[in-house]
Structure 1
Amino acid sequence: MADTVSYRPKAGEIPTQPGVYRFKDANGRVLYVGKAKNLRARLSNYFAPLRSLHERTRRMVTSAAGVEWTVVATDIESLQLEYTWIKEFDPPFNVKFRDDKTYPFLAVTLADEAPRVMVTRNHKVRGARYFGPYPKIWAVRDTIDLMIKAFPIRTCSDSSYKHAMQTGRPCFPGQIGRCGGPCSGKVTIEEHRAIVDDFVAFMAGGDKRFVTAATKNMRAAAERQDYEAAAKYRDQLQALEAVLAKSAVVLRDRVDADLFAIEHDELAASVQQFIVRGGRIRGERSWTVDKELDLDTAELVDSILQSAYEGQEPPKEIIVPALPDDKEELETWLGTRRAEARGRGTGKVQLRTAQRGEKAALMATATMNAKNNLMLYKTRRSSDFVARSQALTDIQEALGMTDAPLRMECYDVSHLSGTNIVASMVVFEDGLARKDQYRRFTIAESTDDTDSIHQVLTRRLAYLKEDPQAAERAEAEAQIFSDGESPVEPAKRKKFSYPPNLLIVDGGQPQVNAAARALEESGVQGIFLAGIAKRLEEIWLPDSDYPVILPRGSEALFMIQRLRDEAHRFAITHQRSRRKRDITSVLSDIPGLGPSRVRELLKHFGSVTQLKAAEPEAIAEVKGIGPQLATTIRETLSR
Structure 2
Amino acid sequence: MPDPSTYRPAPGSIPEAPGVYRFSDPIGRVIYVGKAKSLRSRLNSYFADLSNLHPRTRQMVTTAAKVEWTVVGTEVEALQLEYNWIKEFDPRFNVRYRDDKTYPVLAVTMNEDYPRLHVYRGPRRKGVRYFGPYAHAWAIRETLDLLLRVFPARTCSAGVFRRHGQIGRPCLLGYIDKCSAPCVGTVDAEQHREIVEDFCEFLSGRTDRMVRQLERQMEAAAESLEFEKAARLRDDIGALRRAMERQAVVLGDGTDADVVAFADDELEAAVQVFHVRGGRVRGQRGWVIDKVEPTDTAALVERFVTQFYGEQAALAGAADDAQQPVPREILVPELPPEADALAEWLSGLRGSRVQLRVPQRGDKRALAETVARNAAEAFTQHKLRRAGDLTARSAALQEIQDALGLDSAPLRIECVDVSHVQGTDVVASLVVFEDGLARKSDYRRFEIRGGASGGDVAAIAEVVRRRFRRYLAETGADTAAAPATDSTGAAGGNGAGDQAEGPVISSPATASPDTARPGIDPATGRPRKFAYPPNLLVVDGGQPQVEAAADVLAELGVTDVAVCGLAKRLEEVWLPAEPDPVILSRTSEGLYLLQRVRDEAHRFAITYHRNRRSVRMTASELDDVPGLGPARRQALLKHFGSVRNLKAADADEIAAVPGFGPRTAAAVLAALNGPAPEQPAGRTAGESR
TM-score (norm: length of structure 1): 0.54
Contact 2:133-2:284 within 8 A present in 1 as well: yes
Secondary structure, in 3 states, of the residue corresponding to 1:5? Answer: helix
How far 1:175 sits from its partner (Å)? 5.0
Residue type of the alignment partner of 1:102: T
Deviations along 1:86-140, one digit per CA (max 9) or x if unpaired, are 2343323222669833211112223333332211112312222222111111111
Partner Cα separation in structure 2 for residue 104 and residue 195 of structure 1: 23
Contact 2:251-2:280 within 8 A present in 1 as well: yes
Partner Cα separation in structure 2 for residue 57 and residue 307 of structure 1: 20
Aligned to 1:330: 342
Contact 1:31-1:91 within 8 A present in 2 as well: yes
Aligned to 1:363: 368
Residue type of the alignment partner of 1:316: R
Residue type of the alignment partner of 1:122: G
Residue type of the alignment partner of 1:148: L
Residue type of the alignment partner of 2:376: K
Aligned to 2:547: none
Partner Cα separation in structure 2 for residue 123 and residue 4 of structure 1: 39
How far 1:176 sits from its partner (Å)? 5.2
Secondary structure, in 3 states, of the residue corresponding to 2:301? Answer: helix
Q: Which ranges in structure 1 are unaligned for 5 or more consecutive residues?
A: 339-345, 398-554, 556-639
Assess, with a 3 A threshold, how the Cα gap between structure 1 residues 388 and 28 changes in structure 2: closer, same or farther: closer
Deviations along 1:143-191, one digit per CA (max 9) or x if unpaired, are 1111222222221223444666789765675455443364353333333
Aligned to 1:447: none
Deviations along 1:507-560, one digit per CA (max 9) or x if unpaired, are xxxxxxxxxxxxxxxxxxxxxxxxxxxxxxxxxxxxxxxxxxxxxxxx9xxxxx
How far 1:288 sits from its partner (Å)? 1.4
Secondary structure, in 3 states, of the residue corresponding to 1:259? Answer: strand
Alignment of 1:350-499 (within 5 A): 350-382=355-387, 387=392, 390=395
Secondary structure, in 3 states, of the residue corresponding to 1:101? Answer: coil
How far 1:262 sits from its partner (Å)? 0.8
Secondary structure, in 3 states, of the residue corresponding to 1:284? Answer: strand
Partner Cα separation in structure 1 for residue 386 and residue 52 of structure 2: 33
Aligned to 1:275: 275
Assess, with a 3 A threshold, how the Cα gap between structure 1 residues 43 and 111 changes in structure 2: closer, same or farther: farther
Which structure shows the bigger proportion of residues in helix conformation? 1
Assess, with a 3 A threshold, how the Cα gap between structure 1 residues 173 and 70 changes in structure 2: closer, same or farther: farther
TM-score (norm: length of structure 2): 0.51
Larger Rg: 1
Deviations along 1:187-246, one digit per CA (max 9) or x if unpaired, are 333333333222222212222222222223223322332112212211221111111111
Deviations along 1:406-454, one digit per CA (max 9) or x if unpaired, are xxxxxxxxxxxxxxxxxxxxxxxxxxxxxxxxxxxxxxxxxxxxxxxxx
Secondary structure, in 3 states, of the residue corresponding to 1:149? Answer: coil
Residue type of the alignment partner of 2:337: D
Partner Cα separation in structure 2 for residue 76 and residue 99 of structure 1: 24
Q: Which ranges in structure 2 are unaligned for 5 or more consecutive residues?
A: 317-324, 403-588, 590-689
Aligned to 1:423: none
Which of 326, 345, 350 is 1:314 aligned to? 326
Assess, with a 3 A threshold, how the Cα gap between structure 1 residues 381 and 98 changes in structure 2: closer, same or farther: farther
* Larger CA deviation: 91-100 vs 261-270: 91-100
Assess, with a 3 A threshold, how the Cα gap between structure 1 residues 278 and 163 changes in structure 2: closer, same or farther: same
Assess, with a 3 A threshold, how the Cα gap between structure 1 residues 348 and 77 changes in structure 2: closer, same or farther: same
Aligned to 2:473: none
Deviations along 1:318-372, one digit per CA (max 9) or x if unpaired, are 211122233344334444544xxxxxxx244322211111011011111111111
Partner Cα separation in structure 2 for residue 218 and residue 253 of structure 1: 28
Partner Cα separation in structure 1 for residue 302 and residue 181 of structure 2: 42
Contact 1:93-1:293 within 8 A present in 2 as well: no
Partner Cα separation in structure 2 for residue 220 and residue 160 of structure 1: 37
Aligned to 1:567: none
Deviations along 1:549-600, one digit per CA (max 9) or x if unpaired, are xxxxxx9xxxxxxxxxxxxxxxxxxxxxxxxxxxxxxxxxxxxxxxxxxxxx
Residue type of the alignment partner of 2:364: K
Partner Cα separation in structure 1 for residue 134 and residue 279 of structure 2: 17
Contact 1:5-1:62 within 8 A present in 2 as well: no
Assess, with a 3 A threshold, how the Cα gap between structure 1 residues 120 and 307 changes in structure 2: closer, same or farther: farther
Partner Cα separation in structure 1 for residue 260 and residue 184 of structure 2: 42
Partner Cα separation in structure 1 for residue 336 and residue 216 of structure 2: 48
Assess, with a 3 A threshold, how the Cα gap between structure 1 residues 60 and 383 changes in structure 2: closer, same or farther: closer
User: What percentage of aligned pairs have identical amino acids?
Assistant: 52
Alignment of 1:510-525 (within 5 A): none
Residue type of the alignment partner of 2:188: T
Paired positions, count = 389
Aligned to 2:354: 349
Deviations along 1:445-501, one digit per CA (max 9) or x if unpaired, are xxxxxxxxxxxxxxxxxxxxxxxxxxxxxxxxxxxxxxxxxxxxxxxxxxxxxxxxx
Aligned to 1:80: 80
